[in-house]
Structure 1
Amino acid sequence: MARFTLVISFAAALVVASAGDAHAHPILDEAARLFDEAEFEAALEVFHRAEEAGDLTRDDLIQLYEWRALVHHTLGNADDLETDLMRLASLDPDHQFGRQVPPVVREAFDRAKARTTGQITVHVDAEIQPNGVRLGARVEHDTSGIVQELRLGARAPGNAWTHRSNSALEMPGAPDTTLEVYAEAVGPGGAVVATDGTPDDPFSSLIRDLPGREAGSTGGGGIEIIPTHPSDDDDDGGVPVWPFLVGGGALVVGAVILIAVLVAGSGSSNTALMPPMVQP
């Protein structure tokens, strides 16, 4: 009984301190209060209600998974503890716990992180069409099935956005046409958990015909999409995820053919939207 009380004391102290310092969402503050009062089942119900909200941020979702993992640890819910720590590791592999988190929870997080493939990311893909380009979005490293929706937006600069949710987007394009594009992966509570560009800072690209080739032809013609505003997913050498060189259905990134691994998020069977067609 002494050990059980000590674990509760450590976890509750962490939650109350974190709630005060991080200005948590009011629903999470309510869950923290219930946890502090040893109303653990009630706290779990409030955490579930938070996942149904529509205004959580990524940081809120990280707090939710950490705090709920502590509740599960206190109640001895080993499987639920593991599940929430896997979700936490997919969102924030470098997450730093407060010093009062029990070592057993830290060790469980390290094991969970070892089973993930990296932090959740979302990327925009492009495929040539006879009169423009077909855009789609794909999510990677969603080991725990956090992503529930993929949002995709595109526009010509100064024009209204065209949006899609969990579906591809076809945009008209001609030589020297510029498009602004973004993609967002959305998780529980409406939290945006990964982006490739944003509505306020979209991914700008110039569409132009390849020299001497007819766009959309079957003889190797294509559209070259050159980034004018690379995303934060550039590699260490400064080469962005784009440009996409799309010709006759082949997607070339730099000089390397990329076969995308599409991972569908929970709650939707079609969150991996547009598998690129790759030909040798």
Structure 2
Amino acid sequence: MTVTNPVEATFGVTVSDRVSLAEEQFRLTLDGTELEVEDVLDEASGTRWHVVRDVAAGELKASYQALATDGGASSAVTALDRIHYVRPSRYVDLDRLESVARAEVGDISGEQGVLDVAAWVHEHIRYVIGSSTVTDGASDTYLARRGVCRDFAHLTMALLRARGIPARLVACYAPGLSPMDFHAVVEAAVEDRWVVVDPTRLAPRQSLVRIASGADASETSFLTVHTGGMSFGQLDVTATVEGAELPEDDHLSTVEIG
């Protein structure tokens, strides 16, 4: 990244506090000099944020590497989760999709209902790189019938929430993802458990590693610039399973991250 005016920004690239780690290193440098970083933990979700302030003009680089031994299991669904994750949010404009949810997915419940909604989105939305913008919400994706992983996730969450099922977005590292990048999937509440579905079906869910969890992409972004000016340059993401083959995933049943 190139900083053009002094910047305050938050990074969300390190894996969740709930992930077990054997190794980890996170560095932010400006023109080769390491920066002071404030670490902020969201105890409710386990998300770890890293804040930098008053970053002067120059070349800003973020690097992160980790060896995780699990994917970061969810805690049980709470009473607050059942309120927070059925409401409309910045990108999950379910109030515009209530009638769509009734018409397209009808009455749903339990694990099979969650799978049915993810399958509907998979069958009706095309994955097209660059087909959406950062301001597109679930209703935009429904009308355009195309998008990338976050768009698939937002529409899936909107349909689930519109039918009374709490659902949240999980930003994650996804070994096997093609094209490789950060990935977004959906966790839905079934009884007291969070189960994960991936309406893109682009990566096996059994090897996902959690970065952040939240109501939508606005709460899980890998980079947020609060003040100042910055132009984004190059992004390289690599996620692999060490010493083992990728698991097979037919996406016909639910799984849990972890």
Q: Considering the TM-score relative to the shorter chain, is it more than 0.5? A: no
TM-score after normalising by structure 2: 0.24
Q: Determine which structure has more spread, i.e. the larger CA radius of gyration.
A: 1
Higher relative contact order (CA 8 A, sep 6+): 2
TM-score after normalising by structure 1: 0.22
**Structure with more strand by fraction:** 2
